[in-house]
Amino acid sequence: MKQVFFGVDLGTTNTKVLSVDSDGKFIAITKESTEWLVLPNGKIEANVDQIYKLLLDCINRLITLTKNEIGDFQVAGIGITGMAESGVILDQNRNLLTQPVAWFDSRGEKEMNDLGADFKNEYQTKTGLVFKPESSLSTLLAMKSDGFDFKQKDIVWLNLSEYVAFKFTGTLATEPSLASRTALFDQSTLKFWQRAKQILGVEESFIPEQRFAGQSWGNIVSNQLPAQLQNAVVTVGGHDHPVAAVGSGATGDDQVFNSAGTGDAIVRSVPGTLTDQQRAALTGLGVSAGRHTLQNATVLIGGSRGGLVLRRALDLMGARNGDALKAIDDAWDINHKFIDVIDMNQEKSVSNDIKIILTGDAGPNDLWAAALDYMASENKKMLDGIAEVVGKHKYALGSGGWLKLRSVREIKTKIMPNLEISNIDEPGAFGAAFMASWASQQTDGSIVEHISKRVKNLNSEYRI
């Protein structure tokens, strides 16, 4: 019987599930839009039962597609990654008490600010997160303000990926790169941050035991899943950003992975654990510092809305795609000069609003050049700031839709010399599948060697 591995990516926009063979070669993929509920008060939540049903629908379709490609098979392992801050609370009988809140829902902002400057400083130093209402703690503080009783006995927090693993196996565990996004995790001790524990009034067991990506959560025991998945080994790959970096091939120390999508993310690996002073310096730059999905490493995550700026500029020019986009891309020159004709900025990092001031004789090529310069300057500012704290990176890998444009590739290469481009689409789902393969087999010396071998096969042979 042929062995297959599934990778799940519970994304903000889409839920994706793909299958690979024992060598990591792609077989098939399914995806569905992630459903968010916008409440009358503007808050944004999801129904976890609907998310789980959506995932099961994707898995069932993938079973059919995979069988059409390779015939009869058995899933030996399934890995799960996804957005990090959204999760649920279970009661002592492991029933749902809450629904997931979107990581981009800003509830809890007032409660966080009311805790004062000392709390803000300790928050950034200990959790490694930038002080803004995106963490799980922000949501939990809002829940406490609304009257949720955190003193209930044996309640537990699970990120969405961890909840799916629980539904599959019955195992309660947290993966450190996901725990790092909750603001409940002390990066200096790698345990529950005691300040957060005291403020919420929860028990130590609110965060379950830690398991690492590539470790087994157990075998599937759910009868809701098809026969091909029964007894498959389950692992949680972790936070989607570092899992995507790994799935693209950025598996070493001191590497930068640039995910050039709407959010222009910089993901930097650093060996070991940082000091409080380093975390304070990095969060001051707008860069988070938490556990990598790979053991014994730290991941730094920062970025801008650079891709959003590019998209808005193209929309203004009516050049979002087709021949108009090709003409703008072809006309751009890295030595393009313009003086005081365009001012482009974002007043708030969490806003989708962009201010563009056109003066003089600014034309389409000027606007595109300004958008590219804005994106590149934001990248450079972040990379230079990171280098001052932890040293320069040794290797840079880029992935994402914007890198299909020559102009974007060239200007990014100017600030990241020797930038290599990964052509792997859906690297998060691939990374999760490769981790599942490792969890099931563990035959290649190390998880990094195991994944690197499979990424090489993808980069040389396959594009979705």
Q: What average pLDDT score do residues 333-352 get?
A: 63
The verdict on 347 and 447 lying in the same domain is no
H/E segment holding residue 234: strand 233-239
- Would you list the DSSP string of 339-370? -SSEEEE-S-TT----EEEE-TT--HHHHHHH
The two beta strands, 73-82 and 233-239, are parallel
pTM (two decimals): 0.92
The verdict on 82 and 215 lying in the same domain is yes
| One-letter amino acid for residue 403 of the chain | L
- Using CA atoms, how far apart are residues 308 and 401, in angstroms rounded to an integer? 12
- Using CA atoms, how far apart are residues 135 and 339, in angstroms rounded to an integer? 41
Q: Which token pair is 211?
A: 């398991």
Share of the chain above pLDDT 90, in %: 77
The verdict on 180 and 298 lying in the same domain is no
Share of the chain above pLDDT 70, in %: 95
Q: What average pLDDT score do residues 351-361 get?
A: 70
The verdict on 324 and 441 lying in the same domain is no
pLDDT of 190: 95
pLDDT of 31: 96
- Using CA atoms, how far apart are residues 464 and 458, in angstroms rounded to an integer? 10
| Pair 342, 374: CB distance under 8 Å | no
| CA 38 centroid distance within chain | 22
Residues 6+ apart with CB under 8 A from 167: 52, 222, 224
End-to-end Cα, the chain, rounded Å: 26
The verdict on 283 and 338 lying in the same domain is yes
pLDDT of 442: 67
Nearest to 58 by CA among 27, 85, 19, 21: 19
Q: Which residue has the higher pLDDT, 298 or 363?
A: 298
Q: Which token pair is 415?
A: 């600030």
Above 80 in pLDDT, residue 123?
yes
Q: What average pLDDT score do residues 427-449 get?
A: 89
Q: Which residue has the higher pLDDT, 182 or 222?
A: 182
Q: What average pLDDT score do residues 279-286 get?
A: 97
pLDDT of 443: 66
Give tens-digit pLDDT for 409-425: 999 999 998 899 988 88
| Pair 418, 398: CB distance under 8 Å | no
The verdict on 234 and 268 lying in the same domain is no
pLDDT of 357: 76
Above 60 in pLDDT, residue 426?
yes
- Report the domain count for the chain: 2
H/E segment holding residue 260: strand 255-260
Burial of 223 (0-12, 13-18, 19+ CB in 10 A): exposed
pLDDT of 459: 61
pLDDT of 394: 92
Above 80 in pLDDT, residue 358?
no
Per-range mean pLDDT, top range of 209-213, 345-349, 451-455: 209-213
The verdict on 92 and 197 lying in the same domain is yes
| Pair 177, 161: CB distance under 8 Å | no
Give tens-digit pLDDT for 320-331: 889 999 999 999
| CA 403 centroid distance within chain | 19
Q: What average pLDDT score do residues 269-280 get?
A: 97
The verdict on 376 and 432 lying in the same domain is no
Give tens-digit pLDDT for 75-86: 999 999 999 999
306 — pLDDT class (breaks 50, 70, 90): confident
What's the chain's Rg over C-alpha atoms? 22
- Using CA atoms, how far apart are residues 19 and 399, in angstroms rounded to an integer? 21
Above 50 in pLDDT, residue 463?
no
Beta bridge partners of residue 234, listed in sequence order: 78, 218
Nearest to 176 by CA among 252, 236, 102, 104: 236
Q: Which token pair is 439?
A: 């969890």
Q: What average pLDDT score do residues 375-396 get?
A: 95
The verdict on 350 and 394 lying in the same domain is yes
Give tens-digit pLDDT for 2-15: 999 999 999 988 99
Above 60 in pLDDT, residue 433?
yes
The strand ranges marked E within 287-394 are 288-291, 297-304, 342-345, 355-358
Q: Which of 225-239, 333-347, 357-371, 394-408 has the lowest mean pLDDT?
A: 333-347
Above 50 in pLDDT, residue 445?
yes
Q: At 337, which CATH number? A: 3.30.420.40
The verdict on 202 and 238 lying in the same domain is yes
The verdict on 204 and 268 lying in the same domain is no
Which residue range is the domain that position 284 belongs to? 251-421
pLDDT of 121: 97
H/E segment holding residue 439: helix 427-441
The verdict on 219 and 328 lying in the same domain is no
pLDDT of 353: 67
Residues 6+ apart with CB under 8 A from 432: 7, 8, 9, 79, 80, 81, 237, 243, 247
Q: What average pLDDT score do residues 293-321 get?
A: 90
How would you list the strands of the sheet with 255-260, edge to edge? 288-291, 297-304, 264-271, 255-260, 395-399, 420-421
pLDDT of 464: 37
Per-range mean pLDDT, top range of 42-46, 103-107, 281-285, 345-349: 281-285
| Pair 213, 237: CB distance under 8 Å | yes
Q: What average pLDDT score do residues 124-143 get?
A: 97
Give tens-digit pLDDT for 134-178: 999 999 999 999 999 999 999 999 999 999 999 999 999 999 999
| Pair 306, 264: CB distance under 8 Å | yes
